[in-house]
Structure 1
Amino acid sequence: MNIRRWGLTAVACVAVFAALAFFKVMEIKAAIAFGESFPEHSETVEDAVVEVADFTPTIKVMGTVVAAKRLDLHNELAGEITKVNFVSGGHVEAEQILLQLDVSIEQANLAAAEARADLAQSTFARAKDLYGRNAVSKEQLDQAQSDLATSLAEVKVLQRTIDKKTLRAPFAATAGLHQFEVGQYLPENTFITTLVGDSEVAWVDFKVPQFYRPLEIGAEVVIESIGHSNNQVRIRGTVIGENTIVQTENRSRLYRAAIKADNKRFTANTMVSVHVPIGDAAEVLQVPAAAIQYDALGAYVFLLQSVEDGEGFRAHRHQVKIKTTIGDTTLLATPDATSGIKAGDPIAAAGAFKLHEGILVYTKDRAGRSEVNSDNMADLNAGSDPKEAL
């Protein structure tokens, strides 16, 4: 009897447990079915296309703008100023009188010297005529000729002195600032002003360390203004000359580039940045900087592969090798060196940080997508990081 009762009890327990298990299984299946009724988790990102661009590695060095025509004007002779004929910062014409020193004494002496020269000229003419008729000796003729030459030399000396006290602009230029007034005494070798001549070109002198390859005459560089972070100006320049020796103090080569002199940002003595090419142009891949993600294994991007049975893409991670980053654009190594990525491949750009391997991805059109073409690759080259470019 006891065995029978225990047997019934065991059967009852098994039945209860079976009922509970069946209920739980059905509950789990219902939950799974409920979960499967929702769509697959996905993310929306902006897409981009891998592009090919030509990239020239560059370094950035400091340079100085030099005026093609420049003169620091000094006076050779002392004297009192009688005329100031130029305005501070104003334009002056070639041969325009800038300062006139007192030449009243020299002019009086010049008048006397010219009178003596006229007399000596007449005396020499008479002596020459009389000598032809044997009326005077050869010695008297020579004396008359010597007196004439001396008188003419005195005239030239006084004229030259007057010229030295009349300070003129040797070429059309813009004058610097001054504080000269009429009546002011000017000692010898006083600095008058700096003249920057009118010219269509200006020069930029810059130094390149000797361990970089020498630049060729005619090579292009990019000149960038300094101190204008909101609106920096970049212009192209052409190398027109190289110093004959390497400078010993810094083991650098000194070069000179020519630029257009039509921008106030590049006035004489302005410090500028010069982006100098240090290698040959190479083919690289170009992607938005937002597409690059990083982890312990390095940089990678998500390649978007179309879903065969529906809309959207699958994200697949691919390692990349970064050459340099310029603004919002990242340049990758050549297609051969970057495995799995080639020109024309769609990748995730803005929002790529939300993705993981195999996730379903939808893309949205980017209004005003910024693309870098071959015309502005020079600006990209100009901003490259020297360390990354090497």
Structure 2
Amino acid sequence: MFKRLLIAIVLLGLIVGGIVWFKFFRDDMIAQYLGSMEPPAVPVTAQTLEPVTWEPGIDAIGTALATSGVDLSIASSGTVREILFKANDMVELGQPLVQIDDDSEVAALAAAEAGMSVAQAETNRARTLTDRGVGAANTLEAAEAQLEAARAQVASAKTMVDNKKLTAPFAGTVGIPQIEVGQYVTPGTVFATLQDLSHMRVDFSVPEQQIAALTMGGTVTVTSEVGGFSATGKIIGIEPRVDANSRLISVRAEVENPSGELFPGQFLRVRIALPKEEGVIAVPQTAVTSSLYGDSVYVIRPGEKADELKVEQVFVTLGRRSGGMIEVTKGLAGGDQIVTSGQNRLASGGKVKIDNSVALDAPAEE
């Protein structure tokens, strides 16, 4: 009985040992097989670097303003008798826009003019008598004073009448009427907006580090995300102080708007053109991989075989950006061939093959 049990235990141990040995043997063979295999070359797009002419600039966000733009308000109280404009009318300087009821003011003007006529006649009579030597000098002086007072009353009455007729202070486009005929209005009531759209101003801010690049008369380009508007203008004002809270300096530019596509208050992208620079190394932004360790670019190097290409991950120092390009100040030189897309499947030392017939996926920033 004991002999049979011993034989069974020995057989079981041999079987278990064989299974374990076979497992390790199989794993070793698989590892040797895979270790002898070379990974296929990864297809990438590439570009050979050459020094370029860099067109630097300062990018900012701006707001459009009319060169002449105001909210028109009423100068005196009364009932609106007539509205003499429609929304979006082009009006000229001095064109009547609103008429307020002025019956009492017109009557007061007529009375003042009648009083002035009487005062004028009294003055003429006193002057005639004084010239003949039969009138006292103080009588003429009193008559002349009465005439001046009457003229002042007439001028005051005319001002009251004029305040009832509201006119355009400059030529431009008038907005939507904010009042109605028959409405009683008080001084300061806004009845419409008036904007001169032929010339526009653009207000924007730039960081204090770029103050030295700002010059009066400098060229700016503004673009709108609505309607594809684009225009070129010049800087007409630079605030002589930096905002202590934001560390930004305010700048104002002026642009032409002959087509009237740009409206006050509109969002604009502003770019201040700076002098061109020669011999700058720049790469497409898709060629740069960013990680916690820094920014890097994959550079293509010759492999061990004649027709073999490998990549080397080179850490670089980046500078300014312009459009889809970014300046490299350290790490690359003219003549280097870099990977522009397909980096998400690469590792330093990996094999690659260049295929510029199709753009591959750009690497995602980590």
CA distance in 1, matches of 2:149, 2:205: 55
Match of 2:266 among 259, 266, 270: 270
Partner of 1:253: 249
Partner of 1:181: 180
Q: Deviations over 1:221-271 (max 9, x none)?
A: 454546x5xx76555443221234333444432222223335767422234
Amino acid at match of 2:331: T
1:319 matched to 2:318? The reply is no
Match of 1:204 among 195, 202, 205: 202
CA distance in 2, matches of 1:78, 1:193: 16
1:217 matched to 2:212? The reply is no
Normalization by structure 1: what TM-score? 0.66
CA gap 1:329/1:146 in 2 versus in 1, 3 angstroms: closer
CA distance in 2, matches of 1:246, 1:348: 42
* Kept after mapping to 1: 8 A contact 2:66/2:264: yes
Partner of 1:25: none
Query: What RMSD over aligned residues (CA atoms) do the two structures have, in Å?
Result: 4.0
Partner of 2:331: 338
CA gap 1:244/1:298 in 2 versus in 1, 3 angstroms: closer
CA gap 1:179/1:279 in 2 versus in 1, 3 angstroms: same
Which segments of 5 or more consecutive residues in structure 2 lack a partner in the other structure? 1-39, 360-366
CA distance in 1, matches of 2:323, 2:63: 29
Give SS of 1:94's match.
Answer: coil
CA distance in 2, matches of 1:172, 1:362: 63
* Kept after mapping to 2: 8 A contact 1:48/1:288: no
Partner of 2:297: 300
CA gap 1:346/1:114 in 2 versus in 1, 3 angstroms: same
Amino acid at match of 1:134: G
Give SS of 1:196's match.
Answer: strand
Give SS of 1:267's match.
Answer: coil
* Kept after mapping to 2: 8 A contact 1:56/1:282: no
Q: Deviations over 1:328-382 (max 9, x none)?
A: 8342424xx334x30x655554456677758574555679xxxxxxxxxxxxxxx
Q: How far apart are 1:115 and its partner, in Å?
A: 2.6
* Kept after mapping to 2: 8 A contact 1:65/1:267: yes
Give SS of 2:187's match.
Answer: coil
Q: How far apart are 1:140 and its partner, in Å?
A: 2.0
Amino acid at match of 2:297: Y
CA distance in 2, matches of 1:208, 1:141: 70
CA distance in 2, matches of 1:297, 1:114: 86
Normalization by structure 2: what TM-score? 0.70
CA gap 1:319/1:57 in 2 versus in 1, 3 angstroms: farther
CA gap 1:332/1:71 in 2 versus in 1, 3 angstroms: closer
Amino acid at match of 2:179: F
Partner of 1:131: 130
CA distance in 2, matches of 1:237, 1:55: 18
1:287 matched to 2:269? The reply is no
CA gap 1:134/1:57 in 2 versus in 1, 3 angstroms: closer
What is the percent sequence identity of the aligned residues? 26
Give runs of aligned pairs for residues 1-390 of structure 1, distance below 5 A. 46-51=45-50, 52-56=52-56, 58=58, 60=60, 62-200=61-199, 202-210=200-208, 212-214=210-212, 215-225=214-224, 235-262=231-258, 266-275=262-271, 283-292=279-288, 299-303=296-300, 314-315=309-310, 317=312, 319=314, 321=316, 323=318, 329-334=324-329, 337-339=330-332, 341-342=333-334, 347-351=338-342, 359=351, 361=353, 363=355
CA gap 1:313/1:364 in 2 versus in 1, 3 angstroms: farther
* Kept after mapping to 2: 8 A contact 1:289/1:325: no
Give SS of 1:333's match.
Answer: strand
CA gap 1:199/1:364 in 2 versus in 1, 3 angstroms: closer
* Kept after mapping to 2: 8 A contact 1:284/1:331: no
Q: How far apart are 1:146 and its partner, in Å?
A: 1.8
CA gap 1:249/1:292 in 2 versus in 1, 3 angstroms: closer
- Count residues in correspondence: 317
CA distance in 1, matches of 2:181, 2:57: 58
CA gap 1:221/1:127 in 2 versus in 1, 3 angstroms: same
Q: How far apart are 1:169 and its partner, in Å?
A: 0.6
CA distance in 2, matches of 1:156, 1:115: 13
Give SS of 1:69's match.
Answer: strand
* Kept after mapping to 1: 8 A contact 2:54/2:276: no
CA distance in 1, matches of 2:72, 2:180: 17
Give SS of 2:113's match.
Answer: helix
Amino acid at match of 1:255: V
Q: Deviations over 1:272-307 (max 9, x none)?
A: 44456899957532333444467878522344779x
CA distance in 1, matches of 2:278, 2:187: 60
